[in-house]
Amino acid sequence: MKIGIIGAGHIGKTLAKKLINAAYPVILSNSRGVESLQPLVKELGTLALAGTNEDAAGSDLVIIAVRWEQIPEVLDKLKKQLAGKIVVDASNRPNKGAPEKPSTAVVAELIPDAMVVKAFNTLFARTLDAEPTVNNGKRVLFLSGDQPFAKESVAKIITQLGFAAIDLGSLKQAAPVTELGTALSGLNLVSYPS
Ligand SMILES: NC(=O)c1ccc[n+]([C@@H]2O[C@H](COP(=O)([O-])OP(=O)(O)OC[C@H]3O[C@@H](n4cnc5c(N)ncnc54)[C@H](OP(=O)(O)O)[C@@H]3O)[C@@H](O)[C@H]2O)c1
């Protein structure tokens, strides 16, 4: 399964490294173009490729790792290409004012025919980058989404990366605890075998 990562900053790079360690081929894109990504893909090794946003969106599963302000522009151009695909939204909306709807609802409305799964947004990039195994426990990554098949696919990837996947239910159910500044945001939990 090839994974596209749109955004090659803190979160995009960290996820690329983890996915490649788990033997997934990745294609990364950013705003400055393929040339600017060459040093990074060289560092990541032979499973990494640099491409345009359209190249990344052509992958089997696509991760959105751009800042909130970039989301509308990026997704608007990819709306048709992302139809029917699993799109993992790793973004967080800056915590300002009292927004009308959860950020996940905004993302899902921008790409209405995609299967959006919210994941990889609650841990800081540096924690995500750390070893997922802690003693005999596993660091927790939360996910939520409205299509069980899509969530199962993402949970499988999370598990392969060495984390414990915890499904919080639908996008609507999870939003009150996963949005920036809410209960699970930034929380570094470890799940131990019972
Ligand atoms: N950092 C964290 O600890 C953390 C944790 C959880 C979730 N998040 C969320 O993850 C997202 C990314 O955060 P970050 O810290 O990784 O940000 P970042 O380091 O600023 O990286 C953003 C990336 O997005 C790229 N980008 C900007 N405009 C683009 C466009 N039009 N098309 C394609 N790529 C574009 C940038 O490319 P250029 O450099 O070429 O402009 C850069 O590679 C945010 O929504 C953030 O809330 C971050």
Residues 82-122: tens digit of each pLDDT: 999 999 999 999 988 888 899 999 999 999 999 999 999 99
What pLDDT was estimated at residue 193?
Answer: 93
Tell me whether strands 115-119 and 137-145 are parallel, antiparallel or unpaired. antiparallel
For the chain, the domains span: 3-191
Mutate to test the pocket of ligand 1, among 66, 82, 127, 187 (most ligand atoms within 8 A of CB): 66
What pLDDT was estimated at residue 187?
Answer: 96
3-191 architecture in CATH? 3-Layer(aba) Sandwich (3.40)
- In this structure, the dihedral spanned by the alpha carbons of residues 133, 13, 126 and 150, taken in order and rounded to 10 degrees, is -60
11 lines ligand 1 (CB under 6 A): yes
What pLDDT was estimated at residue 55?
Answer: 98
Q: Whose CA is nearest to atom 18 of ligand 1?
A: 9
Crossing angle of helices 103-110 and 71-78, in 10° steps, is 30
User: Which residues touch 30 (CB under 8 Å, ≥6 apart)?
Assistant: 7, 8, 9, 12, 36, 37
SS3 at position 14: helix
What pLDDT was estimated at residue 190?
Answer: 98
**Mean confidence (pLDDT) of the chain:** 97
- pTM recorded for the entire structure: 0.98
Residues β-bridged to residue 48? 26
Q: How confident is the model at residue 145 (pLDDT cuts 50, 70, 90)?
A: very high
For the stretch 39-95, pLDDT in tens is 999 999 999 999 999 999 999 999 999 999 999 999 999 999 999 999 999 999 998
Give the integer Cα–Cα distance in Å for 59 and 87: 10
Mutate to test the pocket of ligand 1, among 5, 6, 11 (most ligand atoms within 8 A of CB): 11
